[in-house]
Structure 1
């Protein structure tokens, strides 16, 4: 792959990921299927990368990939070799689905051929020795496919090739698992069954046994509660491929060397963290909590980023430096604006409170419905034996008026500086009204400094009303990585027990995080333009698919309104004048309160 193609991959990573996902969804027919595409395979071969996505889709369609993945984990738990077991599974899976997808979609055959040719060509230097039966079998399987099924193998390999061919006739997942298990036991570890037991013993391993086992040695990431889940996901993803991943890693290392990518030392990272702590206040998370949330959230386009959670430099300063004094001045400025517009703000709070209260009262009203149980209705007894309608009773249904939770997320990037006070007032109005009707809510702001996305918490869900005053600590600075902030806020919101979840985002519709190239530091890929807009919109769609109602409150320049529409769709509000704020936001919240979840 030439230099231009490499740069193209770096510039369109999100587009390539979407392309692979679309192939997977089209082939599988399941548009809810989750997958993390391996874009690094494009560095090796476009055909390998695309065929990898196609195979994962086909595997999910024709077989139970979760059961296959669980079998592999259970076999590894009983001390099978992970690498060799995965390689054996790859051969059998290719035979089981490779021809099926080509027959259904003839256009895939050319891509399959090109992918196999690229694998053989790129892994030529690692061609197996005479003693490497598994490597030689892989070459034979690939060449057999390229030769239309007529490739002859040496006599020693024939029994193993027969098992691979038998995989192509597997009608269900357990039959495919039996082929994989028999091939591993006969070729890789003939004593496995005697030492560890048959396939029945493997499948009998319980979830409790797996959960209690430490998978630390099998994971590239640090150990977290989701270690077993991460390991299952890793094996399930790897089993569909055919390429040697060590070759992919070597090619990636060579690319990084050519680009002079700097490896950031722990000392450099610690220095950057200390600087963030000094300017934004100490974090309220423990080290373990911080590591866990970063591991879960900072992936894909945000993989070189970090999250930092704070209550602000005024609430928890390291020392009273210039940043502390600057934040203090801005708080006073926000409070001064509040006093200047005191009547307007109070009026907005009152109107929004009344609107929400009326909706909650209506929701709490008792509704009588016909049912198959409850209090009998004598006038309906004539239906017995004469009608299929067995609803002879009445029941009173009372909706739960308190089953709501709200998150308010505020863009605190430098582009909001001219509107800082107005934005703070908008968040304060929402928070006061929600407190008045006792709906639990959290208020946070976000901005990005260097590779850190700073999440400044003003109040937590169940804090008392007095915590709303913290919103006047709202300070703007630096850039904004909206997709990461929204994803992280959504993670906390989804963990709540309330049935109806609402996220309100106050932003200027301009996700932008382009880091100046700092030496000896992590420099995430520029986050701007179409890619940043698409990423932010994707996170919002993901939350909506999980039944979170998302409202975008536009607090920016009119020229950026079109971008806001792309990100939030129809559910966004443009506030031209703060006097109308409560009516516009109230209409949206009322709609959510009056809609059964």
Structure 2
């Protein structure tokens, strides 16, 4: 039945047998044969050890701690605006520490299964998912390796306080003590502003059942679960936190299994034809085939699993041939340039105002003071003091003020719904670009739209390109649909790889994520992307970046009726530009605030 511990297996024929096996393990470890649970048989797709250890840990959690109390805490924390995925991640690390050694001491035979589970998770997740390259991801790797090293660990300085906090979870003797560790780790690692913005642990625990039942949980729950909201959601959370594996990997394996079982309707020839058509309409890709495959594998997951990414510098810079689309893009570029000349004075004024606003903030950070010293550049006018005074300060030194490094990403919605605002949106991006060039802050400008199952990422300039590349922004063309969440996730991935301390993303959009075309020819036909699901996905990607210390500003360039959606996506950090004449003041205020934080 199993070739080895990590080889995916076909599970449908054995589902009942596997469920019974996991359920028996849970009952044996917990000692409670009335305990009800739905075994996650899909974990057998990843490895036998992961699936069985997951069941064991659920039983151990029920034995050593109060699952209901823990689940209710998680629900209350999320009610007060904690990120569900981030809170689940933190709780997983703490719970593994709290019960991992206990169950092995009681039942030594579990130790080998535990080790195999950790090895399989490391093998399947390490260096595959992008989140393993940030601090939380590295922390998870450290926890897994610590299990394999018999409790010993050596980590970089940044991770030490978090590892020490996780160790505290291992010494927790009751549920409340464990909850305190989870809460502190979440606040320190994921959201340092949580207590000041939303409340302390005591305030979290003080949330009443009346508060919870009045809250709308549609954003978190499927329709099937909504009838018994709190009980079902709390149970779902506690089941999630008892494991340590990344659910995205499990989901991907399940998706691959389902695809193997289904009839393939998109042949390689059809996919090649679709790719060629995209190339003709949007220009050649600047990535190699291997690079494209890698980024698609990393980004196109979950709701975007049937999607593809395409990276280009545009049809005007890298055309396949001079076709109708090429000539159409040239006309639109000329139209953008014409509008620039028509509004030349307004644009120049905005660039000047935004430049001066940024420059003042940067000057405050980087002012250089000249002071007298016993070393440095000699001051001839003070040489007479030699032998006549004990004051040996015959030199002057320049003391440079500390300045944090900044980097900015400008991401522009290039969907067809922006067509009537195309020129104004191009001017907004150009104003930001010129001002950032004037103050020497590195930045990148990209647009996105979705054509068939391809989300097109059009790069106008790279982070360290010269000012001359700013003119490429007038190549901005709008068409087709938009998968905002996928575009933000993709752009954010590159931004997070930058070394600068302060990262900022500015998103120019109309607040209408939408990608619905059924039965696209020669395409994989991803699930429709619209309404609540699309808005929630986009908002999730924005929150994820903010949790990773990226400042995200939404610049609303749409119709007033879509303002409410924009607020759901970006929260308080969004700007509504009614008149381009006020653009620099509104965006300048936000950027200044970011430059002054920790200044």
What TM-score, normalized to structure 1? 0.60
Match of 1:26 in 2: none
Q: Does 1:328 pair with 2:292?
A: no
Pairing of 1:545-560 with structure 2 (within 5 A): 545-560=547-562
- In 1, the alpha carbon distance for the partners of 2:50 and 2:474 equals 56
Match of 1:96 in 2: 60
- In 2, the alpha carbon distance for the partners of 1:292 and 1:183 equals 32
SS in 1 for 2:505: strand
SS in 2 for 1:172: helix
SS in 2 for 1:573: strand
Deviations 1:258-303 (A, max 9, x none): xxx6542222211111110111000001111111111111111111
Match of 1:172 in 2: 102
Pairing of 1:29-40 with structure 2 (within 5 A): none
**Change in 2 beyond 3 A, CA 1:364/1:223:** closer
- In 2, the alpha carbon distance for the partners of 1:272 and 1:422 equals 32
On the 8 A contact 2:49/2:113 being kept in 1, the answer is no
The count of aligned residue pairs is: 408
State the structure with more CA Rg. Answer: 1
Deviations 1:205-236 (A, max 9, x none): 9x9xx99xxx6xx79x9999989x99989999
Pairing of 1:146-157 with structure 2 (within 5 A): none
On the 8 A contact 1:506/1:552 being kept in 2, the answer is yes
- In 1, the alpha carbon distance for the partners of 2:257 and 2:547 equals 35
SS in 2 for 1:320: coil
CA drift at 1:104: 4.1
CA drift at 1:172: 3.0
- In 1, the alpha carbon distance for the partners of 2:255 and 2:430 equals 53
Pairing of 1:295-444 with structure 2 (within 5 A): 295-365=297-367, 399-401=401-403, 403-444=405-446
CA drift at 1:99: 3.7
**Where does structure 1 lack aligned partners over 5 or more consecutive residues?**
1-39, 60-80, 109-167, 185-198, 369-395
**Change in 2 beyond 3 A, CA 1:275/1:170:** closer
SS in 2 for 1:445: strand
Match of 1:538 in 2: 540
SS in 1 for 2:109: helix
**Change in 2 beyond 3 A, CA 1:234/1:557:** farther
**Change in 2 beyond 3 A, CA 1:107/1:309:** closer
- In 1, the alpha carbon distance for the partners of 2:564 and 2:555 equals 13
CA drift at 1:365: 3.2
**Change in 2 beyond 3 A, CA 1:333/1:173:** farther
On the 8 A contact 1:262/1:521 being kept in 2, the answer is no
Q: Does 1:477 pair with 2:479?
A: yes
- In 2, the alpha carbon distance for the partners of 1:335 and 1:299 equals 38
**Where does structure 2 lack aligned partners over 5 or more consecutive residues?**
1-10, 31-44, 72-97, 148-239, 371-397
Q: CA RMSD in A?
A: 4.6
CA drift at 1:345: 0.7
On the 8 A contact 2:104/2:111 being kept in 1, the answer is no
CA drift at 1:93: 3.5
On the 8 A contact 1:402/1:439 being kept in 2, the answer is no
CA drift at 1:203: 12
- In 1, the alpha carbon distance for the partners of 2:537 and 2:530 equals 10
Deviations 1:497-537 (A, max 9, x none): 11011100000010001123125530111111111111111
**Change in 2 beyond 3 A, CA 1:234/1:300:** farther
On the 8 A contact 2:49/2:117 being kept in 1, the answer is no
- In 2, the alpha carbon distance for the partners of 1:332 and 1:513 equals 28
- In 2, the alpha carbon distance for the partners of 1:405 and 1:204 equals 37
On the 8 A contact 2:366/2:402 being kept in 1, the answer is yes
Q: Does 1:445 pair with 2:408?
A: no
- In 1, the alpha carbon distance for the partners of 2:131 and 2:568 equals 36
On the 8 A contact 1:361/1:401 being kept in 2, the answer is no
Q: Does 1:105 pair with 2:107?
A: no
